[in-house]
Amino acid sequence: MQPLPGGFLLAESRQDGFDPNAFTYDQSGKPIRSFCIGDGVQSVQTTTAGDIWVSYFDQGTLGNTIARAGLLCFNADGEPIYTFQPVVGLDRILDCYALNVENDDTAWIYYYSPFPIVRIHKRLIDGVWKAPIPYATAFAVYRDTVVMDNGVQQDGWTRLTLQDNGRVSRSGPVVFLDDEGAPFSAKFATARGRLIWFLKDAKIYCADLGHLRFL
Protein backbone atom coordinates (compact mmCIF):
# COMPACT_ATOMS: atom_id res chain seq x y z
CA MET A 1 0.00 0.00 0.00
CA GLN A 2 1.31 3.45 -0.97
CA PRO A 3 -0.08 7.00 -0.88
CA LEU A 4 -1.04 8.90 -4.02
CA PRO A 5 -2.24 12.50 -4.40
CA GLY A 6 -5.88 12.41 -3.34
CA GLY A 7 -5.89 8.71 -2.49
CA PHE A 8 -3.82 5.56 -2.31
CA LEU A 9 -2.53 2.55 -4.25
CA LEU A 10 -2.84 -1.15 -3.50
CA ALA A 11 -0.62 -3.58 -5.43
CA GLU A 12 -0.30 -7.35 -5.62
CA SER A 13 3.07 -9.06 -6.04
CA ARG A 14 1.98 -11.70 -8.54
CA GLN A 15 0.18 -11.20 -11.84
CA ASP A 16 -1.15 -13.55 -14.51
CA GLY A 17 -1.32 -12.61 -18.16
CA PHE A 18 -2.65 -9.09 -18.55
CA ASP A 19 -4.82 -9.08 -15.42
CA PRO A 20 -4.46 -5.90 -13.35
CA ASN A 21 -2.48 -6.11 -10.12
CA ALA A 22 -2.43 -2.41 -9.17
CA PHE A 23 -5.53 -0.59 -7.94
CA THR A 24 -6.00 3.09 -7.08
CA TYR A 25 -8.65 4.55 -4.76
CA ASP A 26 -9.69 7.98 -3.62
CA GLN A 27 -9.53 9.02 0.03
CA SER A 28 -13.00 7.60 0.71
CA GLY A 29 -11.97 4.18 -0.64
CA LYS A 30 -13.85 4.50 -3.93
CA PRO A 31 -12.07 2.63 -6.76
CA ILE A 32 -10.57 4.88 -9.44
CA ARG A 33 -8.70 2.60 -11.84
CA SER A 34 -6.79 -0.66 -12.13
CA PHE A 35 -3.84 -1.56 -14.33
CA CYS A 36 -1.05 -4.11 -14.81
CA ILE A 37 2.40 -3.48 -13.31
CA GLY A 38 3.85 -6.90 -14.16
CA ASP A 39 4.60 -10.11 -12.29
CA GLY A 40 7.11 -10.61 -9.50
CA VAL A 41 6.73 -7.24 -7.78
CA GLN A 42 9.36 -6.83 -5.06
CA SER A 43 8.76 -3.25 -3.87
CA VAL A 44 6.51 -0.32 -4.65
CA GLN A 45 7.21 3.29 -3.64
CA THR A 46 5.28 6.33 -4.81
CA THR A 47 6.15 10.03 -4.98
CA THR A 48 4.27 13.18 -4.05
CA ALA A 49 3.92 13.85 -7.79
CA GLY A 50 2.00 10.57 -8.17
CA ASP A 51 4.74 8.51 -9.85
CA ILE A 52 4.84 4.80 -8.98
CA TRP A 53 8.26 3.12 -8.82
CA VAL A 54 8.14 -0.69 -9.00
CA SER A 55 11.01 -3.16 -8.61
CA TYR A 56 10.89 -6.89 -9.35
CA PHE A 57 12.38 -10.20 -8.24
CA ASP A 58 13.55 -12.98 -10.54
CA GLN A 59 10.16 -14.56 -11.24
CA GLY A 60 9.27 -11.27 -12.88
CA THR A 61 12.56 -10.39 -14.57
CA LEU A 62 12.84 -13.87 -16.07
CA GLY A 63 9.18 -14.00 -17.08
CA ASN A 64 7.19 -12.75 -20.04
CA THR A 65 5.73 -9.52 -18.66
CA ILE A 66 6.89 -5.92 -18.54
CA ALA A 67 8.78 -6.83 -15.34
CA ARG A 68 11.73 -8.09 -17.40
CA ALA A 69 13.51 -4.72 -17.00
CA GLY A 70 13.67 -5.18 -13.21
CA LEU A 71 12.62 -1.58 -12.50
CA LEU A 72 9.82 0.54 -13.92
CA CYS A 73 8.16 3.83 -13.09
CA PHE A 74 4.49 4.42 -13.89
CA ASN A 75 2.40 7.57 -13.71
CA ALA A 76 -0.78 7.63 -11.65
CA ASP A 77 -2.76 6.41 -14.69
CA GLY A 78 -0.65 3.26 -14.88
CA GLU A 79 1.36 4.28 -17.96
CA PRO A 80 5.08 3.38 -17.93
CA ILE A 81 7.21 6.54 -17.97
CA TYR A 82 10.60 4.98 -17.18
CA THR A 83 12.18 1.58 -17.89
CA PHE A 84 15.56 0.70 -16.43
CA GLN A 85 18.30 0.21 -19.00
CA PRO A 86 21.81 -0.53 -17.71
CA VAL A 87 24.62 1.75 -18.83
CA VAL A 88 28.12 0.56 -19.71
CA GLY A 89 29.60 -1.29 -16.74
CA LEU A 90 26.25 -2.40 -15.30
CA ASP A 91 24.51 -5.75 -15.69
CA ARG A 92 20.78 -6.15 -16.18
CA ILE A 93 18.60 -6.54 -13.10
CA LEU A 94 17.87 -10.17 -12.25
CA ASP A 95 16.55 -9.49 -8.75
CA CYS A 96 16.12 -5.99 -7.31
CA TYR A 97 16.81 -6.57 -3.64
CA ALA A 98 16.20 -3.00 -2.44
CA LEU A 99 14.47 0.15 -3.71
CA ASN A 100 14.69 3.59 -2.13
CA VAL A 101 12.74 6.45 -3.73
CA GLU A 102 14.30 9.50 -2.11
CA ASN A 103 12.05 12.19 -3.61
CA ASP A 104 10.19 13.15 -6.80
CA ASP A 105 13.47 13.32 -8.77
CA THR A 106 15.73 10.63 -7.29
CA ALA A 107 15.45 6.87 -6.83
CA TRP A 108 18.09 4.39 -5.68
CA ILE A 109 18.28 0.65 -6.34
CA TYR A 110 20.51 -2.25 -5.26
CA TYR A 111 20.30 -5.45 -7.23
CA TYR A 112 21.72 -8.80 -8.29
CA SER A 113 24.19 -8.91 -9.85
CA PRO A 114 26.90 -7.89 -8.78
CA PHE A 115 25.13 -5.74 -6.15
CA PRO A 116 25.73 -2.17 -7.27
CA ILE A 117 24.12 0.82 -5.58
CA VAL A 118 22.63 2.83 -8.46
CA ARG A 119 21.27 6.38 -8.27
CA ILE A 120 18.68 7.46 -10.85
CA HIS A 121 18.12 11.22 -11.04
CA LYS A 122 15.40 12.62 -13.27
CA ARG A 123 15.17 9.18 -14.92
CA LEU A 124 18.86 9.08 -15.81
CA ILE A 125 21.52 6.93 -14.10
CA ASP A 126 23.95 9.43 -12.60
CA GLY A 127 25.81 7.39 -9.96
CA VAL A 128 27.04 3.81 -9.51
CA TRP A 129 28.85 2.37 -6.49
CA LYS A 130 29.95 -1.22 -5.81
CA ALA A 131 28.41 -2.28 -2.51
CA PRO A 132 30.62 -4.44 -0.26
CA ILE A 133 27.57 -6.23 1.19
CA PRO A 134 25.76 -8.97 -0.79
CA TYR A 135 22.07 -9.84 -0.50
CA ALA A 136 21.01 -6.80 1.56
CA THR A 137 17.30 -6.03 1.58
CA ALA A 138 17.11 -2.36 2.62
CA PHE A 139 19.26 0.76 2.73
CA ALA A 140 18.79 4.41 3.59
CA VAL A 141 20.73 7.32 2.10
CA TYR A 142 21.72 10.70 3.57
CA ARG A 143 24.22 12.79 1.61
CA ASP A 144 27.25 10.49 1.15
CA THR A 145 26.18 8.09 3.92
CA VAL A 146 24.39 4.80 3.35
CA VAL A 147 23.13 2.56 6.15
CA MET A 148 22.46 -0.94 4.80
CA ASP A 149 21.40 -4.17 6.43
CA ASN A 150 23.96 -6.95 6.44
CA GLY A 151 22.09 -9.29 4.14
CA VAL A 152 19.46 -12.00 4.30
CA GLN A 153 21.67 -14.41 6.27
CA GLN A 154 23.18 -11.82 8.65
CA ASP A 155 21.85 -9.66 11.47
CA GLY A 156 22.74 -6.03 11.96
CA TRP A 157 23.40 -2.94 9.88
CA THR A 158 26.51 -1.28 8.45
CA ARG A 159 27.36 2.32 7.72
CA LEU A 160 28.91 2.93 4.29
CA THR A 161 30.40 6.07 2.75
CA LEU A 162 29.97 6.74 -0.95
CA GLN A 163 33.11 8.07 -2.59
CA ASP A 164 33.50 10.18 -5.72
CA ASN A 165 35.37 7.43 -7.59
CA GLY A 166 32.46 4.99 -7.42
CA ARG A 167 33.94 3.11 -4.50
CA VAL A 168 32.35 2.47 -1.13
CA SER A 169 34.11 2.40 2.23
CA ARG A 170 32.84 0.71 5.37
CA SER A 171 32.51 3.13 8.26
CA GLY A 172 31.51 0.64 10.95
CA PRO A 173 28.45 -1.15 12.34
CA VAL A 174 25.22 0.61 13.27
CA VAL A 175 23.27 -0.44 16.37
CA PHE A 176 19.64 0.62 16.71
CA LEU A 177 18.02 1.04 20.13
CA ASP A 178 14.40 0.62 21.13
CA ASP A 179 12.40 3.07 23.24
CA GLU A 180 14.01 1.65 26.40
CA GLY A 181 17.55 2.08 25.06
CA ALA A 182 18.16 -1.61 24.40
CA PRO A 183 19.65 -2.90 21.12
CA PHE A 184 17.12 -4.66 18.96
CA SER A 185 16.73 -6.40 15.63
CA ALA A 186 13.52 -6.46 13.63
CA LYS A 187 12.14 -9.13 11.32
CA PHE A 188 11.12 -6.52 8.76
CA ALA A 189 12.66 -3.20 7.72
CA THR A 190 12.25 -0.88 4.78
CA ALA A 191 13.82 2.46 3.90
CA ARG A 192 12.71 5.65 2.21
CA GLY A 193 15.22 8.45 1.66
CA ARG A 194 17.12 8.88 4.92
CA LEU A 195 14.48 7.06 7.00
CA ILE A 196 14.50 3.39 8.00
CA TRP A 197 11.24 1.87 9.25
CA PHE A 198 11.27 -1.24 11.45
CA LEU A 199 8.41 -3.53 12.40
CA LYS A 200 9.07 -5.41 15.65
CA ASP A 201 6.31 -7.28 17.43
CA ALA A 202 3.45 -4.76 17.74
CA LYS A 203 5.61 -1.65 17.40
CA ILE A 204 6.90 0.43 14.50
CA TYR A 205 10.20 2.26 14.87
CA CYS A 206 11.68 4.91 12.59
CA ALA A 207 15.37 5.88 12.42
CA ASP A 208 16.45 9.10 10.71
CA LEU A 209 20.01 9.08 9.35
CA GLY A 210 20.10 12.84 9.74
CA HIS A 211 19.76 12.42 13.49
CA LEU A 212 21.88 9.33 14.10
CA ARG A 213 25.01 9.62 16.23
CA PHE A 214 27.99 7.88 14.67
CA LEU A 215 31.00 7.14 16.88
Q: What is the pLDDT of residues 115-140, one digit of tens each?
A: 999 999 999 999 999 999 999 999 99
Q: Is the pLDDT of residue 74 over 90?
A: yes
Report the alpha-carbon distance of residue 104 to residue 73 in Å, rounded: 11
Nearest C-alpha neighbor of 162 from the set 170, 151, 154, 150: 170
Q: Is the pLDDT of residue 158 over 80?
A: yes
Give yes or no: residues 159 and 180 share one domain. Answer: yes
**Per-residue confidence band for 155, with pLDDT thresholds at 50, 70 and 90:** confident
Q: What is the mean pLDDT of residues 57-62?
A: 96
Give yes or no: residues 163 and 114 share one domain. Answer: no
Give yes or no: residues 8 and 64 share one domain. Answer: yes
Give yes or no: residues 36 and 126 share one domain. Answer: yes
Give yes or no: residues 208 and 126 share one domain. Answer: no
Report the alpha-carbon distance of residue 138 to residue 16 in Å, rounded: 27
Domain range spanning residue 87?
Answer: 1-130
Q: Is the pLDDT of residue 44 over 80?
A: yes
Q: What is the mean pLDDT of residues 30-36?
A: 97
Number of domains present in the structure of the chain:
2
187 vs 81, residue with greater confidence = 81
Report the alpha-carbon distance of residue 160 to residue 132 in Å, rounded: 9
Nearest C-alpha neighbor of 99 from the set 57, 156, 36, 152: 57
Give yes or no: residues 197 and 113 share one domain. Answer: no
Give yes or no: residues 183 and 97 share one domain. Answer: no
Q: What is the mean pLDDT of residues 57-72?
A: 95
Write down which residue in 103, 130, 157 finishes a domain: 130
Write down which residue in 130, 163, 180 finishes a domain: 130
Q: Is the pLDDT of residue 90 over 90?
A: yes
Q: What is the mean pLDDT of residues 164-182?
A: 91
Give yes or no: residues 16 and 54 share one domain. Answer: yes
What integer pLDDT is reported at residue 215 of this predicted model? 60
Give yes or no: residues 49 and 138 share one domain. Answer: no
pTM of the model: 0.95
Q: CB 64: neighbour CB atoms within 10 A?
A: 10
